[in-house]
């Protein structure tokens, strides 16, 4: 059995009353008496509509009997019953629509509450989860899960329960008027109908689960391809991407055809069972009429009641499938919410208080997988207000240090201290509030320049944004734009150049105004001229802060107070730029190699 099959089977097994119990608090919130009253009123309106529906056949049958009676027809009685029948049908529609208006807020609040909880949970999940996620597939899981809520509410409360009530009342009426035979026949037919519907729908649910998995895969591939649009163009891979998407779309289409065909099968079998019941019941009534026991109105009464019963029963397959599929979709979403949160605050953790922003890594061991260790007892100290640099060959663990500092992961062993406080013992929110970052790839929101700069602090004012833009030396660029700060930057900031994106990231960090600044390869993707301009800006904004610069290009950190050279996850050299060159070790070797590479590039340019 494939892994996807196991997942689908597990989801279908989980999609039971446990899922309903988890959902009920959203439908019946403890702190919202107004919503609970709406549910009660909606239930009363359902009962009122059902009471009217159950009396309509008597009015209809009475009018027919009055018209079919021997002698002069009772015109007034027949007219009165017909008008009552019409009024009853209007009352049914009125009660149903009023019920919808009363209940709409309950359903929407339930959807909103669950959606907000899922969104919040996703932001609580670890970086490991988000690095491995498929955005398109994740989006579909949330979309299907939230949409299924309103269907679940509607069908459970306004279809299944009223139909059950109607079945009981009709059974009592049939027994009182016609005896146990027609009640027994109706019960057997409905039991057979429900059993067949459940069996076929279970089969359809498995087909549907497979179809949803393929739908998520197709969407994931489409989103992934569009996000990497430039890469596709670089390699002329449009045809390859189309074939890759077509493979998933084709598999989804086949699964969708099987699902639709199974629906047609279900409808045929349901119609056969119900029409056999209808034919048998009406034939039995006609036989009773031939013996003088039943009237023409009784035939109308039986026909009308069965038609009313068949209407919701005819939808039972769809209703059962929607409820079953809704449970599967919600179970999948709840499973997403149950994903383990790798990094959590300690119970009662206090906020980080930074008086002197010193930083210490004390014998830190860490790896992303147990069989691949990255840091091997890394230790270093950054005094408050100093400018420290971390350098080393690729794969030495430099970027991992930044992720541990922000507590995206916790070390296997050792401690990370800020102002003498272990960052595992303080709240993550206060820790991240104390650290600003200018990353190598500054990803921006698809919004305005103002929004992206102000993102550094929630209560940032327009004046704060403008001042940060000036300090980050991007204000002259903004002034030339027709819309100024209201200029849209595009998805991931793709409408801006690399230098412009970096300056926005610097401005965003300035708005945050943190005591500790992390520069993670902040200029590695820029040309020499832009790099020098950004470096001048960074030197200016890092003054008075504790700054950690992670760099590959050594010329960018030559003026650091202290340089730590990392190799195989540990500090192998430390000192100032001149001291390390005199030491003639790994740093000196890296420096000389970069000088040779730059010289070769200059010669090639000439």
Cβ-based neighbours of 194, under 8 Å, separated by 6 or more = 316
Query: What one-character-per-residue DSSP string does 1-64 give?
Result: --HHHHHHHHHHHH-SHHHHHHHHHHHS-TT-HHHHHHHHHHHHHHHHHHHHHHHHHHHHHHHH
Query: Nearest CA to 162 among 278, 269, 42?
Result: 42
SS3 548: strand
Report pLDDT for 2: 40
Are residues 242 and 201 in contact, defined by beta-carbon separation less than 8 angstroms? no
Question: What strands lie across the sheet with 413-418, from one edge to the other?
Answer: 375-382, 359-366, 413-418, 421-422
User: Residue 422 forms beta bridges with which residues?
Assistant: 417
List, for residues 161-172, the tens digit of each pLDDT value.
Answer: 777 777 787 778
CATH class as words, domain 359-434+514-605: alpha beta
Torsion sign across C-alpha atoms 403, 404, 410, 411? positive
The alpha-carbon radius of gyration of the chain (Å, integer) is: 35
Q: Give the count of alpha carbons within 13 A of 439, CB side only.
A: 10
Asked whether residue 3 carries a pLDDT value surpassing 60, the answer given is no
User: Residue 546 forms beta bridges with which residues?
Assistant: 516
Q: What is the DSSP letter of 382?
A: E
List, for residues 164-217, the tens digit of each pLDDT value.
Answer: 777 787 778 777 777 787 788 888 888 888 888 878 877 777 777 778 777 777
Q: Where are the domains of the chain?
A: 17-337, 359-434+514-605, 444-508
- Asked whether this chain's domains 17-337 and 359-434+514-605 adopt the same fold, the reply is no
List, for residues 317-332, the tens digit of each pLDDT value.
Answer: 667 767 777 777 777 7
**Buried b vs exposed e over 215-236: b needs ≥16 C-beta within 10 Å?**
bbbbbbbbbbbeeeeeebeeee
Q: What is the DSSP letter of 584?
A: T
List, for residues 65-74, the tens digit of each pLDDT value.
Answer: 777 665 565 6
Question: Cα separation of 11 and 330, whole Å?
Answer: 9
List, for residues 333-354, the tens digit of each pLDDT value.
Answer: 777 777 777 778 888 889 888 8
Question: Cα separation of 200 and 206, whole Å?
Answer: 10
For the chain, percent of residues with pLDDT exceeding 70: 86
Query: Nearest CA to 581 among 377, 391, 398, 384?
Result: 391
Instruction: Out of 175-179, 506-510, 527-531, pick the least confident.
Output: 527-531
Average pLDDT, the chain: 78
Question: Cα separation of 478 and 558, whole Å?
Answer: 31
In terms of average pLDDT, the best of 98-112, 315-329, 591-605 is 98-112
Confidence label for 78 from pLDDT (cuts 50, 70 and 90): confident
Q: Residue 106 is inside which H or E element, if any?
A: helix 75-124
Maximum separation of any 2 CA atoms in the chain, in Å? 126
Question: Cα separation of 517 and 386, whole Å?
Answer: 11
Q: Residue 414 is inside which H or E element, if any?
A: strand 413-418
Asked whether residue 1 carries a pLDDT value surpassing 50, the answer given is no
Confidence label for 6 from pLDDT (cuts 50, 70 and 90): very low
Q: Does domain 17-337 have CATH number 1.20.1560.10?
A: yes
């Amino acid at each position: 059995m494939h892994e996807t099959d196991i997942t689908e089977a597990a989801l279908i097994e989980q999609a039971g009353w446990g899922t309903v119990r988890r959902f009920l608090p959203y439908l019946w919130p403890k702190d919202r008496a107004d919503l609970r009253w709406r549910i009660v009123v909606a239930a009363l309106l359902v009962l009122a509509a059902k009471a009217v529906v159950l009396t309509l056949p008597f009015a209809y049958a009475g009018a027919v009997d009055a018209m079919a009676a021997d002698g002069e027809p009772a015109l007034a009685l027949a007219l009165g019953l017909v008008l009552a029948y019409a009024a009853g049908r209007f009352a049914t529609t009125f009660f149903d629509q009023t019920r919808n208006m009363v209940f709409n807020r309950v359903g929407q609040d339930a959807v909103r509450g669950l959606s907000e909880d899922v969104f919040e949970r996703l932001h609580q999940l670890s970086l490991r989860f988000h690095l491995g996620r498929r955005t398109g597939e994740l989006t579909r899981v949330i979309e299907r899960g939230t949409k299924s809520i309103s269907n679940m509410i509607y069908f459970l409360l306004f279809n299944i329960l009223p139909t059950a009530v109607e079945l009981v009342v009709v059974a009592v009426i049939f027994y009182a008027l016609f005896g146990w035979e027609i009640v027994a026949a109706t019960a057997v037919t409905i039991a057979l109908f429900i059993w067949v519907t459940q069996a076929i729908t279970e089969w359809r649910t498995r087909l549907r689960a497979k179809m949803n998995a393929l739908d998520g895969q197709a969407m994931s591939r489409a989103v992934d391809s569009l996000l990497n649009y430039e890469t596709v163009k670089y390699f002329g891979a449009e045809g390859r991407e189309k074939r890759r998407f077509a493979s998933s779309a084709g598999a989804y289409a086949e699964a969708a055809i099987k699902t639709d065909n199974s629906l047609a099968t279900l409808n045929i079998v349901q119609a056969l069972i119900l029409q056999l019941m209808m034919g048998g019941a009406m034939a039995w009534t006609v036989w009773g009429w031939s013996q003088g026991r039943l009237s023409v109105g009784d035939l109308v009464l039986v026909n009308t009641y069965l038609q009313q019963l068949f209407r919701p029963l005819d939808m039972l397959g769809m209703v059962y499938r929607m409820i079953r599929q809704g449970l599967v979709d919600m179970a999948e979403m709840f499973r997403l919410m149950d994903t383990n949160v790798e990094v959590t605050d300690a119970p009662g953790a206090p906020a980080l208080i930074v008086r002197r922003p010193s930083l210490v890594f004390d014998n830190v061991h860490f790896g992303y997988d147990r069989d691949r260790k990255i840091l091997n007892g890394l230790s270093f100290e950054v005094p408050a207000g100093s400018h420290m640099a971390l350098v080393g060959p690729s794969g030495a663990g430099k970027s991992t240090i930044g992720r541990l500092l922000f507590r995206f992961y916790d070390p296997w062993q050792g401690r990370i201290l800020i102002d003498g406080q272990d960052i595992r013992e303080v709240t993550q929110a206060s820790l991240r509030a104390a650290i600003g970052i200018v990353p190598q790839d500054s990803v921006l929101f698809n919004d305005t320049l103002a929004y992206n700069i102000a993102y550094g602090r929630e209560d940032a004012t327009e004046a704060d944004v403008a001042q940060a833009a000036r300090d980050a030396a991007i204000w002259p660029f903004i002034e030339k734009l027709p819309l100024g700060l209201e200029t849209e930057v595009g998805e991931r900031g793709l409408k801006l150049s690399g230098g412009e994106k970096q300056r926005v990231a610097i401005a965003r960090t300035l708005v945050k105004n943190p005591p500790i600044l992390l520069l993670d390869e902040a200029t590695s993707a820029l040309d020499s001229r832009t790099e020098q301009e950004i470096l001048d800006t960074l030197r200016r904004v890092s003054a008075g802060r504790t700054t950690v610069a992670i760099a590959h290009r050594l010329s960018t950190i030559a003026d650091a107070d202290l340089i730590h050279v990392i190799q195989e996850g540990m500090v192998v050299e430390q000192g100032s730029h001149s001291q390390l060159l005199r030491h003639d070790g790994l740093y000196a070797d890296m420096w000389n190699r970069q000088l040779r590479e730059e010289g070769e590039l200059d010669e090639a340019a000439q």
